């Protein structure tokens, strides 16, 4: 019998793939036309987020903490998922503005929001060399999300384009509120070098549930991918 492992790359790609299809009206229609259900994709996405949240909590300095700590971690993963959806919409809106002949000032303002301004930190790569990478600090991400949400709320010129793409202003305001609500609650979860991460029962259960739902609808997703190269590439990364 195969052992259900902790959250890892495959589970992460399955969640991202489900989120991609949910956020793409064309792909979603093809999936639904193939007898898939929206809740199938939502289950794959949500179980993936839950597994990642448990993994983050378990592997950090507060590993073995309270249910409240896990709740904060899960809230953060949901916040990042919602932020990614907004980010994808903003990239599309940038193309809309350029096509519509928007002013350089408006486009530059949007580009500044899209730009990742999370601090760069130095890490040691697998080959022992020092490399510069974006910080994965949860507090840095939280602050970036709150800042960007605020900037979008105040950017009246792009609200019509976001509305057209089904991104509601109220949802962005909620994102800002959620990000602000996590201020001070997120801590760096660093693991001592060489320390093993133990999968909690909750983490394994979430991965198991996600994998089962993924297997149930994989053939439908594979059929959609035949006309969607981007999805086909994600299926390769998520399968196994």
- Residue-wise pLDDT for 202-232, tens only, equals 888 888 999 999 999 999 999 999 998 888 8
* Residue-level pLDDT at 126: 55
Helix (H, G, I), strand (E, B), or coil: what is residue 120? strand
* Strand locations in the chain (E): 120-124, 130-134
Q: What is the Cβ-side half-sphere exposure of residue 207, based on CA atoms within 13 angstroms? A: 25
* Residue-level pLDDT at 147: 95
pTM passes above 0.85:
no
List residues bridging with 131 in a β-sheet. Answer: 123
* Residue-level pLDDT at 186: 66
Residue 197's CB is within 10 A of a number of other CB atoms, namely: 15
Structural domain boundaries of the chain? 1-64+200-240, 77-184
* pLDDT under 70: residue ranges of the chain: 1-6, 56-70, 119-128, 131-136, 186-199, 240
Residue 94's CB is within 10 A of a number of other CB atoms, namely: 19
* Residue-level pLDDT at 69: 59
* Residue-level pLDDT at 3: 42
Helix (H, G, I), strand (E, B), or coil: what is residue 128? coil
Q: How far apart are CA 36 and CA 38, in angstroms?
A: 7
């Amino acid at each position: 019998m195969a052992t259900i492992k902790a959250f890892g790359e495959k589970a992460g790609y399955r969640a991202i793939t489900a989120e991609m299809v949910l956020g793409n009206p064309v792909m979603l229609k093809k999936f639904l036309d193939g007898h898939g259900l929206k809740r199938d994709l939502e289950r794959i996405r949500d179980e993936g987020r839950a597994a990642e949240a448990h993994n983050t909590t378990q592997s950090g300095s507060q590993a073995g903490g309270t249910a409240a700590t896990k709740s904060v971690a899960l809230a953060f993963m949901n916040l990042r998922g919602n932020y990614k959806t907004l980010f994808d919409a903003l990239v599309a809106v940038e193309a809309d503005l350029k096509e519509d002949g928007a002013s350089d000032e408006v486009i530059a303002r949007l580009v500044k929001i899209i730009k990742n301004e999370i601090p760069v930190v130095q890490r040691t790569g697998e080959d022992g060399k020092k490399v510069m990478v974006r910080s994965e600090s949860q507090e840095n991400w939280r602050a970036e999300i709150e800042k960007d949400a605020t900037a979008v709320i105040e950017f009246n010129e792009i609200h019509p384009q976001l509305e057209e793409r089904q991104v509601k202003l109220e949802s962005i305001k909620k994102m800002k509120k959620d990000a602000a609500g996590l201020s001070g609650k997120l801590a760096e979860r660093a693991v001592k070098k060489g320390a093993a991460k133990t999968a909690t029962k909750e983490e394994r259960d979430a991965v198991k549930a996600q994998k089962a739902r993924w297997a149930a609808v994989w053939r439908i997703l594979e059929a959609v991918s035949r006309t969607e190269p981007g999805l086909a590439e994600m299926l390769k990364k998520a399968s196994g």
